[in-house]
Structure 1
Amino acid sequence: MVPKTVLTRFAWIAAFVATVALCFWPLLSAGFLFDDFANLPALGEYGPIKDFDALARYLTAGIADPLGRPVAMASFLLDSRDWPAAARPFLRTNIILHAINGLLLLALLRRLGRALDLDNRTAFNAALWGAALWCLHPLWVSTVGYVVQRHAMLASTFVLLGLLAWLSAVAAFREGRAGQGWLWAACVMPACGVLAALSKANGMLLPVLVLAIQWFVVMPRHGVGRAERLATWLLLGVPSLLLVAALLAQIEAEPPGRSWTLAERLMSQPRALADYLWTLLVPRVNSTGIFADGFQASTGWLTPASTLPAALGILALLVAPFLLRHRQPALAAALAFYLAGHLMESTVLPLELYFEHRNYLPAMLLAWALAMSALSPLSRTGHGKAVVFGLGAYLLVLGALTQQRAMLWADTPRQAAVWGLTLPDSPRAQTWAAQHELRAGNLAAAHARLVRTLEQFPHNPMLALNLVNVECAAGGTRPGTLEQAARALARTGLRVDMNHDWLRDRLLAEAASCPGLDKPALFALVDAALEHGSRTPRALARRERIQGLVAVGQGDCPRARQHFSDALRSQPRDSSAYGDTALLASHCGAGFALSFLRDYRTAGRDGFVEKPGMPRLHRAVLDHQGYWTRELDRLETLIARDIPGGQDAREQAD
């Protein structure tokens, strides 16, 4: 017969999972957003994924960080094996994964409670409250509801498994089962770390996070034996030091493509961390969501005025765990875990200054510390029911806010309007709102919004180019708008993806598609963008290719060919050669295009080496499969058929 206690706990766990599903379920009606369209099209980039070769091409096509995140990319195959696809299956999997993370967190927190010598009932209750308070926080709507944040969620899954593996190792060491202990510590935990890192790079923080738990929860009350001490130093201490050294090696005083310096970023991050913590403690329906570009960089210790107080506050939080280690180990561990979880994304790496989803993993112990503080006096006072009632009320507020936010995310036009209203300092939010107003046919509102925001951010190309789009839709763009767009393009150049993509699409479109933006006006915008002097291989290739498109538009095929050839010398990509050849074939004739293609294939890549990481592996996979060799052969055959004489005309193509 199953004990009553087990049945009760199972019922509570089932209720926990059901509540999570209920609160996040409205997200199933949401859609794809922004970075989803940069990452998910890899599902169909080389055709449907229906054999091993296609799978290898897909798993190595990741662009999010140097490791490519292949484990997270593999998880998207649960939802679709081609692109375009519906968003609902992806969002459903995200909700399920979030619930799984909640269960894993529950298991972890229970074991940590037992490590603090709590009885089984108190350890379970504190763990259940801690996991529920974390899992139902409305801040995670922007993680669960943003499909591509599967990367962060899956990395957290493997970090949780790694933490549980380490606790199993500690238990084995202390019970005299050294072999099993080393198996858990040296095999299972590092394997979880690798899987976490291949889901998202901050999964590499696993040793640092385990070290925080080991130091502030496991060691203070129990001490360690020789095997556990050795494992701690070899498998936690050394990797943590190596990770810190690797981060320091990434330091750039003035990161390219950023409007702030490293010093300004480091001054800004305490303000970001303080704002994260406040939002975690005092949740609300609306937050920055995915639009964090309105977060102001600190340019001095008093600019803005909150910079120095925030820095002093975070410094105090860095010291607090060591002061609280023996008196309040749960709080000490939670603070240390939180700060360690931000070590990669909130320090020296030149990432954007603020994103709320960065708290998904680091915040996992904070609610547990709150629950421990609330529940610990229950056995000594008569206020137990009041404490439980207070926690329950707080949990209900979290759940209600989460469901409200999920319903907002499910209604994209309303979501855009709300963000446009609540985030006036975010050019992205204002552009997003204007794009939805444009789609709804409300051109006047979209125009007014973009003009108003451009007055605040006069050099923002996203605002300027979208204003051009709105005016095109309204009947014709204005000279003043084009001048403003030219200034924004000159300031930011082709290194900005949107600038490049917008100019490319406009150059490929029909000249009459936008009254007022005729060829001379468009070419003037190109000239403005070319004023920016970025010299990376990617930027140089973009410059040459855009100039090639201009030459095509002017009917100057020899100059277009020269620019395309120069682009391929800067960044030789078979996919680019394929597209350039097709464009030349349609505008300059089959023979001209065939000659260009043959020259590229003869020259090859001339010793060009792809940058280290997943891009190099992806190139190796494509070369091994002969993918582009076959595609270029097929293209060459098709073009040759359009030349008088068919295949024999290849020899006369020059």
Structure 2
Amino acid sequence: MPSFRGHSLPAIALLAVLLLAYVCLEPGLTGGFLFDDAPNLQDLSAYGGVTNWETFRAFVFGGWSGPSGRPIALASFLLNDNAWPSDPGSFKYTNLMLHLLAGALLAWAALQLCRFYGLDERRAQWTALFGSAAWLLHPFFVSTTLYPVQRMTQLAAIFVFAALVAYLHGRRLFPLRPRAGLVWMGASLALGTVLATLSKENGALLPLLVLVVEFCAPPGPPRLPRAFRALFLWLPSLAVLGYLLRQIDFTPGLWPDRPFDQPERLLTESRILWDYLGNLFLPRIEGSGLYRDNIIISRGLFDPPGTAWAIAGLAALLAAAFRLRRCAPFFSLAVLFFFAGHLIESTWLGLEPYFEHRNYLPAAFLFLPLARGLDRLRQQVSAATVAISALAMLGTLAFLTHQRATLWGDAEQLELYWALAAPDSPRAQNALAHFYARMGDAAQAETVITQAIARLPDSPLLTMSRLLQKVYLGTATPEDFTWAGERLVRQPFDAQAVMALRTLVDQALRQDRPGWYRSATLTLIDRLAENPAFNRFPLFLRFIPYLKARLLLADGRVDEAEALYREAMRRYANIDSSMQMVAETANAGYYAHAARLLDDAEALYRQQPETSLKFPRRIYDQEIARIRAQLEEGIHAQP
């Protein structure tokens, strides 16, 4: 906890703020899992739950969310459960505790920072307290806290804040005990960067963020040794910048699965950064939430016109931060720390453009200038007026956070709110139609999808959604499949539409569906395979033979299914996927075909790199031998 030496009131106030944050966020603990939660957590049960070292290794070191795999974040999910499905309340409660820990560490780091920047002890304590309280109580971070998978973001921030505490302790120790100070600073940077990066990749920005702290520091503290600065600050910062620079590629159509290229993403992010700042300084209860696939992409400086103004505003803000760093260090720190924190996720990498959680770390010191402004206001008005103003601001934030958390406490109502707030989002309208379908209002669901298709005619997700609705209701006709095929063949790629295609196959394979559903779905898949936009994606190219094989297997066309399964296995080149296909064939009673597929699966497995295996080879060897014995037994038992 922060050390408020000689002043018990700020320490008590911090505890009160932490308690208030808990009270405000607690209503959201009853909400459910959302969007990316299942894809990131469902591997908890991939092999019967995480129950031993092999399954632990497979889950923790099998992450796919980023280049690092984020093993520390994945390991933290085991605090809540080792299987899936699970109770979302447990995951959300842990996230809430982590948010409080992050707030306490931020208060400590801000206190150390204020001391380092030359504030007297009383001003340092109250400035740090207000700045961290505004961050902790801000409604913009409700989504980060109550969205279980965003624990990755929380942990990265926690390790960065803890490293800043230790670094600034060493920085203040350095003039008195240089060797001890350098040990504190070097250890905090090395350990903090590793731990934060293994939680989420933007943790690699820690050395750059510390450079910002040093750059904005007022004159006074002695300079660090050149060798230390080069080894612990400049080299890791330049390594991150070098990695990012290597990703620059202005080739048109670089990301076929995105509606933008690199220049367009850069232009768009200039407007999004102002949107973030607007939400941080003019907070509201809720916006469009996680449905942000309707962001207007900037196609040029004046398309839309606000793009040029956004870029000019950012340039002016950055220029002011550099210009004023001596006379207004807290302002410069807030601005430069914010932009440095967004360097990975809000520049030219091919990520989706907008997510609230990307501000969790960059906004850490954003409210310190406001705290300093309130302190200076005491020269013009009474201390009571300043205190009332500060409490009013924090109270407003707390109220908005409580209201937003209450909305987040009901996952169904939350998604309905988002859907209604985002009429131009295909994902939102798809979710809205599903909501009405679950409520038994098929007519309203059809109306929502029909109107959404009229507004968004190029969305393959909506095309698949309309067809699936009719399939769910059992009212689909051959004409509906033909209509969908004619649209899909010319629409842009959408990964969610591919997932919807898998759902369609699952539905067509149900025993209570008419047999012609399978042949119509096969025709639809063939039609979609004619779309060059889809054919550029390995995900789709793997799915095609696999989904067709399942349909043909159900129709008894087992030789054709075997050939397609073999092609799918070759494209997946993964023993886990291959064994799934062997199992599907065997479960249908075709043991000889399954045995031949097992031979192919084993041959591919022998060529598979060690690093791509979820489990040690002895586990796979045992499983292959066990399945082979069962298949041979099945073959001999058949007439």
Give the TM-score normalised by the residue count of structure 1: 0.91
**Separation in 2 of the partners of 1:225 and 1:587?**
73
Which amino acid in 1 is paired with 2:633?
R
Q: Kindly state the Cα deviation for residue 294 of structure 1 after the two structures are TM-superposed.
A: 1.3
1:628 to 603, 620, 625: 620
Give the unaligned 5+ runs of structure 2. none
Q: For 1:165-180, what aligned pairs fall within 5 Å after superposition? A: 165-178=166-179, 180=180
- Cα distance, 1:263–1:407 mapped onto 2, change above 3 Å: same
For 1:274, the aligned partner's letter is W
Matched, 1:240 2:237: yes
Partner of 1:311: 311
How far has the Cα of 1:483 moved from its partner? 4.3
- Counterpart-to-counterpart distance in 2, 1:189 and 1:66: 20
Q: What are the residue-to-residue correspondences of 1:130-141 with 2, within 5 Å? A: 130-141=131-142
1:458 aligns with 2:457: yes
Q: Does 1:430 align with 2:429?
A: yes
Distance apart, 1:71 and its partner CA: 0.3
* Residue aligning to 1:477: 476
Aligned-residue Cα RMSD (Å) equals: 2.4
The 8 Å contact of residues 511 and 518 in structure 1, kept in 2 or not, is answered as no
Question: Hey, what's the Cα distance between the residues in 2 that align with 1:14 and 1:517?
Answer: 65
Which residue in 2 is equivalent to 1:439?
438
Q: Please give the residue correspondences for 1:223-372 in structure 2 after superposition, counting only pairs within 5 Å.
A: 223-227=221-225, 229-252=226-249, 253=251, 254-372=254-372
Residue 477 to residue 46, structure 1, CA distance change in 2 (3 Å): same
Give the whole-Å Cα distance in 2 for the aligned partners of 1:225 and 1:276. 35
Structure-2 residue corresponding to 1:96: 97
Q: Is the 8 A contact 2:574 2:608 kept in 1?
A: no
Identity %: 32
1:398 corresponds to which residue? Answer: 397
Change (3 A) 1:515 1:593: closer
Q: Which whole-Å CA distance do the structure 2 matches of 1:585 and 1:93 have between them?
A: 42
Quick one: structure 1 residues 22 and 515, their matched pair in 2 at CA, closer, same or farther if it must change by over 3 Å? farther
How far off is 1:490 after superposition? 3.0
DSSP 3-state at the match of 2:348: coil
Deviation per CA, 1:536-586: give whole Å up to 9, x if none. Answer: 554433232223234324432222212211222223211112111122223
- Comparing 189-198 with 420-429, greater Cα deviation is found at 420-429
Alignment CA distance shift 1:338-1:517 (3 Å): farther
State the alpha-carbon separation in 2 of the partners of residues 402 and 271 from structure 1: 25
> CA deviation digits over 1:567-620, x for unaligned, max 9?
22223211112111122223361122112212332x2347454xxxxxx6451x
Alpha-carbon distance in 2 for matches of 1:483, 1:401: 49
Counterparts in 2 of 1:586 and 1:121: CA distance versus 1, 3 Å: same
CA contact (8 A) 1:512 1:518 kept: no
Listed one character per residue, the Cα deviations across residues 474-505 of structure 1 (whole Å, up to 9, x for unaligned) are 34125665345325543568872541453365
Q: Which region of structure 1 is more displaced relative to structure 2, 67-76 or 116-125?
A: 116-125
Matched residue, 2:220: 222
The count of residues paired between Structure 1 and Structure 2 equals 632
Question: What is the CA–CA distance in structure 2 between the aligned matches of 1:466 and 1:85, rounded to whole Å?
Answer: 27
Map 1:534-613; keep pairs closer than 5 Å. 534-535=535-536, 537-587=538-588, 589-601=590-602, 603-605=603-605, 607-609=607-609
Aligned residue in 2 for 1:502: 501
Determine the C-alpha separation between the residues in 2 that align with 1:88 and 1:423: 27
Q: Kindly provide the amino acid, as one letter, of the partner of residue 222 in structure 2.
A: V
Amino acid at match of 1:248: L
Q: Which residue of 2 is the match for residue 613 of structure 1?
A: none
> How high is the TM-score relative to the length of structure 2?
0.93
Moved more, 516-525 or 27-36: 516-525
CA contact (8 A) 2:98 2:154 kept: yes
Structure-2 separation of matches of 1:484 and 1:239 = 54
Distance verdict in 2 for CA 1:328–1:546, change over 3 Å: same
Contact 1:477 1:514 in 2 (8 A): no
The Cα of 1:26 is off from its aligned counterpart by 0.7
Per mean C-alpha deviation after superposition, the further-off stretch among 566-575 and 363-372 is 566-575
Q: In 2, distance between residues paired with 1:117 and 1:540? A: 61
Q: 1:482 to 1:455 in 2, by over 3 A?
A: farther
Between the aligned partners of 2:288 and 2:354, the Cα distance in structure 1 is: 9
Aligned-pair CA distance for 1:211: 0.9
Matching residue's letter, 1:318? L
Q: Which amino acid aligns with 1:325?
A: R
CA contact (8 A) 2:433 2:448 kept: yes
- Give the whole-Å Cα distance in 1 for the aligned partners of 2:606 and 2:626: 23
Q: Structure 1 residues 106, 426: closer, same or farther in 2, change over 3 A?
A: same
Letter in 2 for 1:642: G
Identify which range, 29-38 or 567-576, moves more after superposition.
567-576
- Which segment is superposed worse, 316-325 or 544-553? 544-553
CA contact (8 A) 1:494 1:542 kept: no
Distance of 1:110 and 1:3 partners within structure 2: 8
Q: Does the C-alpha gap of structure 1 residues 276 and 513 become closer, same or farther in structure 2, counting only changes over 3 Å? A: farther
* One-letter amino acid matched to 2:19: A
Stretch of structure 1 that moved more, 291-300 or 51-60:
51-60
Structure 2 CA distance for aligned equivalents of residues 226 and 280 of structure 1: 34
**Change beyond 3 A, Cα 1:129–1:595:** same
Alpha-carbon deviations, 1:131-175, whole Å to 9, x = none? 111111111111111110111111100111121222123123222
- In the alignment, residue 88 of structure 1 is paired with which amino acid? G
User: CA–CA distance in 2 between the matches of 1:90 and 1:77?
Assistant: 10
Deviation at 1:509, TM superposition (A): 4.1
Pick closer, same or farther for the CA change 1:207–1:594 going to 2, 3 Å: same
Q: Equivalences for 1:85-234 in 2 at 5 Å?
A: 85-178=86-179, 180-217=180-217, 220-227=218-225, 229-234=226-231
The one-letter code matched in structure 1 to 2:469 is: V
- Tell me if structure 1 keeps the 8 A contact 2:460–2:493: no
Q: What residue is the counterpart of 1:77 in the other structure? A: 78
Q: 1:155 to 1:135 in 2, by over 3 A?
A: same
Please tell me whether the aligned partners of residues 127 and 371 of structure 2 are also in contact (alpha carbons under 8 angstroms): yes
- CA 271–535 in structure 1, closer or farther in 2 if over 3 Å, else same: closer
